[in-house]
Every structure is written in structure tokens, then in C-alpha cells.
Amino acid sequence: MTGPAQRVTGKHAFITGAAGGLGAAIARMLARHGAKVFLTDVDELGVSALAAQINRELGTHAAWHAQQDVSDEALWQHRLAEAAEAMGGLSVLVNNAGIGSLGGVEQIELKEWRRVMSINLDSILFGCKYALPLLREQQPASIVNISSLAAFKVDPAYTAYNTSKAAVAMLTKSVAVDCAKQGIDVRCNSIHPAFIRTGIVAPFFAALGEEEATRKLTRGIPMHRLGEPDDVAYAVLYLASDESRYVTAAELVIDGGACAV
Ligand SMILES: NC(=O)c1ccc[n+]([C@@H]2O[C@H](COP(=O)([O-])OP(=O)(O)OC[C@H]3O[C@@H](n4cnc5c(N)ncnc54)[C@H](O)[C@@H]3O)[C@@H](O)[C@H]2O)c1
């Protein structure tokens, strides 16, 4: 039996977009609860600093890092192989990296549409596709895809973002059912946060100021506040651990009640 601080001991987790925001909170959370973590991001300095910080805090080698653009298919295969080599296998994949993009249907250019799809959606396909052979080797295993409340609630100013995140939810279910039907214990779930205070919402605060941005972002949220990165990290901890062993193809909404109204 493991103690409360050891919920993912023995797990080997690969986390994308881990230099800041939700990815960094997820990395810290999993490592503090016993997992080994391999952190990637386009921001190499950022993941390098976080890995060093985690190793210092825990007093052991629990974190590794590497530069990765998640839209680069070939690089996925290299990074996953390096991670498995460093950690002794792979049992958790957290597809977290993603970007926002402003533009309604009549404004968005195809080039931008494709950029958003390649970073927010293609990356999830590459991650799942190339991680599965490794995850099969370390069952029970878990894939957690960070989607968004935007998968269910439309903001017409964010056409590409909404569409990419809705597709992530369906891709997640497809992977989950595929694994279940093959009889392999690799679960796959998506997480759908409302607004969390990270770099991705920084432009709102820069443009509108603290008070007005907070008012606008929390308008449809019954709890009347933004979420914290750890609200999402705790959900990932649950889905990465064997506590969620009967949960697959699920959409876990973390939104202060927004979906209900
Ligand atoms: N913060 C929110 O309000 C919110 C809400 C719902 C969903 N999300 C989702 O959560 C995830 C994390 O976002 P965040 O809020 O931490 O944002 P963030 O901007 O703080 O962090 C995103 C990280 O992804 C990295 N990144 C960007 N493009 C990349 C690429 N091509 N390859 C690899 N890394 C790349 C960035 O360098 C950054 O470290 C995203 O998928 C986002 O869509 C965020």
C-alpha cells in the first residue's frame, strides 16, 4: 500500500509543454507524488530550469528534460525513445502543449489554422501513436490529453482553437476504445479546464487590465473565479495513477461549474 505522497510511485511520465503554466504544475505534482518525469518544451531553458529545480527539491534524479516542438513528427519518436531510456520505460503520457489563436471564421488565414491544428491536434496523434508501443510495455498505463472547455463552449473569436480542442476530445475517445478493445491496459482521457491563470491568458490581462480581464473571463463561471494550475495538476495526478483504473474515454471538466449553465 502506498502513502498519500506516493500516488504515482513507479510511474514514468512524459509531459509536453512543461516549461511553464499547466505543464510545469503537472510536472511538479507528478514528481512530488513519486513519478519520474521527462519534460519537453520548445523552450529548452525553461524545461532545463524546472527539471533542475525538481531534482534539487526532491534530492534525487526524478526529472529529465529535452527540447521538443510537438508538431515535429520525427522528433516525437526520438524524444520518447530517450525518455524511456532515461526513466526505464514509459507509463504515462501527458499531451499538454498547446497554443491559443484569435480569429473568427471570416478572419482566420489557412496558414494560422494549420499552425493551430499542428500544435494542438496533430501533436496528440503523434504522441499517442508513438507512445503506445512503449506504454504497452508498462501496463497499466495512462494517456492524459489536455483539451479545454473550448471543446464544448463556443467563442466564435477562437474558431481554430475551439475546433482543435473539440477534435482532441474525440481523438482521446478513439484511442481509449482502441486500447480497451485490444485488451491492453492503457487508458486515455481528456481534461477540459476553463480559464486558468497562465501564459495563455496573459494577453487578456495585458490588453484589458486585471479587473476587466477577470470580470470577462469569469462571466460564465458559477464559482466566479479563474482556476489555479494545481486544479488541473491534481486531475492529471488522479488520471495518471491507478486510482482511476476504470476511467477511460472520459472528459474531465475542471471549470468552476461553467459547463452546467
Ligand atoms: N490556461 C488556460 O486557461 C487553459 C484553459 C484550457 C486549456 N488550456 C490548455 O492547457 C495547455 C497548457 O496551456 P497553459 O495554460 O499552460 O499555457 P502556457 O502558454 O502557459 O504554456 C504552454 C506551453 O507550451 C509550450 N509550447 C507552445 N508551443 C509548443 C510546441 N509547438 N511544442 C512544444 N511546446 C510548445 C510553451 O512554450 C509553453 O511552455 C494548452 O494545451 C492549453 O490549450 C489552458
State in Å: Cα 133 to ligand 1 middle: 26
Q: What is the pLDDT along the chain (261 residues), one digit of tens a residue?
A: 444 568 999 999 999 999 999 999 999 999 999 999 999 999 999 999 999 999 999 999 999 999 999 999 999 999 999 999 999 999 999 999 999 999 999 999 999 999 999 999 999 999 999 999 999 999 999 999 999 999 999 999 999 999 999 999 999 999 999 999 999 999 999 999 999 999 999 998 999 999 999 999 999 999 999 999 999 999 999 999 999 999 999 999 999 999 999
Query: Which of 16, 200, 214 for mutating ligand 1's site (highest number of atoms within 8 Å of CB)?
Result: 200
**And the C-alpha cell for 214?**
477577470
Which residue of 71, 99, 168 sits with most ligand 1 atoms within 8 Å of its CB, as the best mutation to test the pocket?
Answer: 99
The burial of 125, by beta-carbon neighbours within 10 Å (0-12 exposed, 13-18 middle, 19 or more buried), is given as middle
Burial of 59 (0-12, 13-18, 19+ CB in 10 A): exposed
The reported pLDDT for the residue numbered 2 is 47
CATH T-level topology, domain 4-200+228-254 = Rossmann fold (3.40.50)
Residue list, ligand 1 pocket, CB within 6 Å = 16-17, 19-23, 41-43, 68-71, 96-99, 119, 146, 148, 193, 195-196, 198-201
Distances (CA, A) of 118 to 71, 98, 112, 115, 153: 5, 10, 10, 5, 21
Nearest partner of 257 among 230, 231, 233, judged by Cα:
231
Catalytically active residues, by annotation: 161
- Predicted local distance difference test score (pLDDT) of residue 25: 98
